[in-house]
Chain A
Amino acid sequence: MPSLKDLKNRISSVKSTQKITKAKQMVAAAKLRRAEERATQARPYTERMEAVLANLSASAKGNPNAPKLLSGTGKDETHLLIVATADKGLCGGFNSSIVRKAREAIARLQGEGKTVKIVTVGRKGDDMLKRLYGDLVVWKTNFVEIRQVGFEQAHEIAEKVLSMFEDGEFDVATLFYGKFKNVVTQIPTAQQVIPAEAPEGVETPDLKGAIYDYEPDETEILRALLPRYVAVQIFRALLENVASEQAASMTAMDNATRNAGEMIDDLTLQYNRARQAQITKELIEIISGAEAL
């Protein structure tokens, strides 16, 4: 039976934890709103890009001179996994679910006898992956010192990945991130970025019978477009990741706050009972002492 003082201490410590989780929840809610806004603002560019690419790739298909970024290297030997996670914890199962998805993919690919290389984006994913697959990590980056992830960072990652592709270091690249569906649901997603899969279901503008002129020619444009498309996809994944992280963090902190509240109630009840028991005990002692006289 814990003493009254112990209980009191525990209650006050749980209370201060609750204050922290509550504050973190509110911060996450505010950040989530901003992150969602940024994800929405980035959408027009991605959509236009997809439309342009869908348009071009349809005509480039079957063309033996099509850029490798679109048609692939013709091999399927070495896979590069780009695992994008958050830099911070306190966001429930967000990071671990992305890492789990990546781990499953690694196990499957290795089972098939393929070579796997890993690029980690974000500190948490790196921490979790390096224990098991430390020797597979070829490059890592994080945004600990960056307040707001911008296109610049996505570009940097894309450039690194593309230069590795140019050097023939891998055949297929897949991006892992948390897709933001809504505030309660974030889906860990694997998306193939190289070779680029032409987006489906994209509306191409009605040209009213006219055909596009290309300046310079189609292959040149495609060649310039594809690296950017990779960067844009990474950028979108990063933005979605930020939104997902904040949403997951908000939910986790909300739960934590509620749990702390329940715990405080329980402890208070226990405290009151213990106090009551002590009073009763004291009374019995006094009364039986008086009776003995």
Chain B
Amino acid sequence: MADKLHFNLVSPEKELMSADVDQVDIPGTEGWLGVLPNHSPLMTTLAPGMVRIRTGSDEARIFVRGGFAEISPAGLTLLAEEAMKAEDLDAAAIAQKVKDAEEDLADADTDEKKLAAQQSLDRLKELQAAL
């Protein structure tokens, strides 16, 4: 435990990951944080972005949106509202979706529809930017 960081990633629906790792980079709202073992206690809100989890020479990447990170002596816990593994994301498919969303936005005739289209477009762009 001394030289490993206990990392938990939980979404409202289930626990996605629980492992001992070397380093986790998380996108805090006030900037990126590289969390190493024995980090001082910290609590921060998360910006949408890619979390990088390093164990030895392996690196896993998970896209998170909305949530919190809590660092305590027990480890790092990410409470993410949405989390997707990077390997499940396809850049081409997302680019296509962004295009669709842009078309939706152009087609939207009421304010309500416009707002909904703008929101889904923003979400997709965040995702694209993180990749």
Instruction: Given A38-B13, A42-B13, check contact A49 B72 (CB 8 Å).
Output: no
- Is B11's beta carbon under 8 Å from chain A? yes
Check B68–A221 contact: CB distance below 8 A.
yes
- Is B44's beta carbon under 8 Å from chain A? yes
Check B28–A41 contact: CB distance below 8 A.
no
Q: How far is A148 from B60 in the complex, measured between Cα atoms in Å?
A: 29
* B38-85 interface with A by 8 A CB criterion: 40-45, 66-68, 70, 72-74, 77, 79, 81
Name the one of A49, A215, A228 contacting B43, with C-beta atoms under 8 angstroms.
A215
Check B79–A214 contact: CB distance below 8 A.
no
Check A42–B81 contact: CB distance below 8 A.
no
Q: Which residue of B lies closest to A56 (CB)?
A: B43
Check B79–A210 contact: CB distance below 8 A.
no
Instruction: Given A52-B79, A221-B43, check contact A205 B10 (CB 8 Å).
Output: no
Check A215–B41 contact: CB distance below 8 A.
no
Q: What residues of A have a CB within 8 angstroms of the CB of B44 in the complex?
A: 214-216, 221
Check A228–B45 contact: CB distance below 8 A.
no
Q: What residues of B have a CB within 8 angstroms of the CB of A231 in the complex?
A: 12
B interface, how many residues as a size bin? 20 to 34
- Is B29's beta carbon under 8 Å from chain A? yes
Check A45–B10 contact: CB distance below 8 A.
yes
Q: How far is A205 from B77 in the complex, measured between Cα atoms in Å?
A: 12
- Is B118's beta carbon under 8 Å from chain A? no
Would you call the interface of chain B mostly helix, strand, loop, or mixed? strand
- Is B128's beta carbon under 8 Å from chain A? no
Check B15–A213 contact: CB distance below 8 A.
no
- Is A138's beta carbon under 8 Å from chain B? no
Q: How far is A55 from B56 in the complex, measured between Cα atoms in Å?
A: 33
Q: How far is A216 from B42 in the complex, measured between Cα atoms in Å?
A: 10
Q: Which residue of B lies closest to A231 (CB)?
A: B12
Q: What residues of B have a CB within 8 angstroms of the CB of A154 in the complex?
A: 12
Name the one of A56, A213, A224 contacting B40, with C-beta atoms under 8 angstroms.
A213
17 contacts between A and B (CB under 8 A): A44-B10, A44-B15, A45-B11, A45-B13, A48-B10, A49-B79, A56-B43, A154-B12, A208-B73, A210-B41, A211-B41, A212-B42, A215-B42, A215-B44, A215-B45, A216-B30, A221-B45
A interface, how many residues as a size bin? 20 to 34
Smallest CB-CB A-B distances: 3 pairs: A41-B14, A215-B44, A205-B72
How many residue pairs link A and B with beta carbons under 8 A? The number is: 85
- Is A291's beta carbon under 8 Å from chain B? no
Check B28–A215 contact: CB distance below 8 A.
yes
Check A220–B13 contact: CB distance below 8 A.
no
Interface residues of A (CB under 8 A from B): 38, 41-42, 44-45, 48-49, 52, 55-56, 150-151, 154-155, 205-208, 210-216, 220-221, 224-225, 228, 231-232, 235
Q: What residues of A have a CB within 8 angstroms of the CB of B74 in the complex?
A: 205
Q: How far is A151 from B12 in the complex, measured between Cα atoms in Å?
A: 7
Check A150–B13 contact: CB distance below 8 A.
yes
Given A42-B13, A44-B8, A205-B73, 15 additional A-B pairs, CB 8 A: A42-B14, A44-B15, A45-B11, A45-B14, A48-B8, A48-B77, A55-B43, A56-B43, A212-B43, A215-B28, A215-B42, A215-B43, A220-B45, A224-B68, A228-B67
